Structure 1
Amino acid sequence: MESNVPSKERNKVAVYVYIGMRVLVVLSIAAFVLFRDWLDAVNATLILGLMLLPSLLKHRYKLYLPFELDLAIVSFIFLSLFLGSLRNFYERFSLWDSILHFQSGILLGIVGFVMVYILNEKSPTKLVMSPIFISLFSVCFSLALAVVWEVYEYAADSWFGYTMQESGLPDTMGDLIVNGVGALIVAVVAFVWMKRRQRLPFAPKKFKKYILSE
């Protein structure tokens, strides 16, 4: 069933959410400074920097980054680092961690797929990679970064007193499995799509203009 909300209105809502998340982090930084909570102020500032990074890279290197993907990246940073770590949502909601790891598996799988697809299309040596290899790479890319995230969680718990890994090894393995499931879904969809359509789904004309132009 299609939504009755016009597409332009949905786009406006997405933009408001996109900007609103950054505004909330800025206001939180001001509050942390006001109450002399320097550690959280520094952490929130780093989080804000990460949220701004996709836009900065897009403008600095003239990359075409679909707004939907940019929004997904910023949302994940906001939900995981800001709400999850700083606002203790990991402790308040038992499924928060699993939901975010599933989301990150999908998101990182898409990023890995787009990266290697670009390499495959633009390589000056006429590099040819099969759809199955590209799909498997997206899974490996997602899982590799998931491992890095688990190291971050361990460091945050050990050094700053967070409780991101409440049950130790079972929590770590559960997170990696959920992440892998999300990445596997992306890999299957990407494989089927490449076999049938042979082009990127993100606005092909703009993609060719900003990425694949000689």
Structure 2
Amino acid sequence: MELSRKKRFDWKRIIGAFLFVTLIGSIVFIIIRMIMAPSEAAIEDNVKVKSDYVLMLLQCVLGIVVMMIPSIVEKKKSIDIPDTIEIIYFIFLYCAIYLGEVQDFYYLIPYWDSILHAFSGAVLGVLGIILVRFLNNQERVQIQLNPFFISFFAFCFSVAAGTIWEIYEFLADGLLSLNMQKFILVDGTQLIGRAALSDTMSDLVIDTLSALIICIIALPILKKR
């Protein structure tokens, strides 16, 4: 048992270190390219401008910050997050930030953004369940939630996290003139009306459905336990 746990811990450290080095290397690369990039480019040139690299830089810096959250929570709050969940979390950050933003998978791979939102909604649902089960096991917490309310909280937790992310994208687009909500197409066409809301609302719908599915699956499991 101890050897198996050590192997899982080593995998977590290796993947976490790989993600950290990748993001640091990407930051250095982005800063160099951002200095040389033009402020504006003709549509037919199809080259990245400074605002494109600002978005990449913001995402990479944010990625380094959020990848530290699980270890901080474990140390400060004494919550044991399963190593498997942390590994999945690191892989998600790699796919979303490095592959998605730096390597342009959001534009190169169809539905890449939707796949990641479905993935994140499910993982956040699991994290919500872990959080409530931890609180249920604390002697100082007087309230004990039954399986239904654990699943319901996990669902709300996942949807709320997805909503906060969309708010972050909206604010970043407005304050830094970015295109995180993809309201401007690759050819420079700016979407209006319902079309401009499509990316945000589809992300929220996917977050909600994936969280709902994972919580429905978890409910009978929690009842058995």
For Structure 1 versus Structure 2, the TM-score category normalised by the shorter chain is 0.7 to 0.9
Q: Indicate whether 1:93 and 2:91 are aligned.
A: no
User: What aligned pairs does 1:30-45 form with structure 2 within 5 A after superposition?
Assistant: 30-35=28-33, 37=35, 39=54, 40-41=56-57, 43-45=59-61
Q: Indicate whether 1:179 and 2:212 are aligned.
A: no
Q: Indicate whether 1:193 and 2:209 are aligned.
A: no
Q: 1:63: how far off?
A: 3.2
Q: Indicate whether 1:162 and 2:179 are aligned.
A: yes
Cα separation, 1, equivalents of 2:135 and 2:223 = 18
Q: 1:116: how far off?
A: 1.6
Cα pair distance change 1:43/1:186, threshold 3 Å: closer
Cα pair distance change 1:118/1:58, threshold 3 Å: closer
Q: 1:128: how far off?
A: 2.4
Cα pair distance change 1:123/1:62, threshold 3 Å: closer
| Contact 2:122/2:210 (<8 A) preserved | yes
Cα separation, 1, equivalents of 2:220 and 2:25 = 44
Which residue pairs with 1:208 in the alignment? none
Which residue pairs with 1:113 in the alignment? 129
Q: Which residue identity lines up with residue 217 of structure 2 in the other structure?
A: V
Cα separation, 2, equivalents of 1:72 and 1:145 = 17
Deviates more, 1:88-97 or 1:75-84: 75-84
Which residue pairs with 1:140 in the alignment? 156
Q: 1:22: how far off?
A: 1.9
TM superposition score normalised by structure 1: 0.75
Q: Among 21, 24, 28, which residue is 2:22 paired with?
A: 24
Deviations 1:150-179 (A, max 9, x none): 112223333332243344322222212211
Q: Secondary structure at the match of 2:204?
A: helix
| Contact 2:181/2:200 (<8 A) preserved | no
Cα pair distance change 1:129/1:46, threshold 3 Å: closer
**Number of matched residues?**
190
| Contact 1:58/1:65 (<8 A) preserved | yes
| Contact 2:129/2:151 (<8 A) preserved | yes
Deviates more, 1:35-44 or 1:79-88: 35-44
Cα separation, 2, equivalents of 1:91 and 1:126 = 49
| Contact 1:85/1:164 (<8 A) preserved | no
The answer for unaligned runs of 5 or more in structure 2 is: 36-52, 184-194
The answer for unaligned runs of 5 or more in structure 1 is: 1-6, 198-214
Q: Which residue identity lines up with residue 178 of structure 2 in the other structure?
A: G
Q: Indicate whether 1:56 and 2:64 are aligned.
A: no
| Contact 1:90/1:164 (<8 A) preserved | no
- Give percent identity, aligned residues only: 29
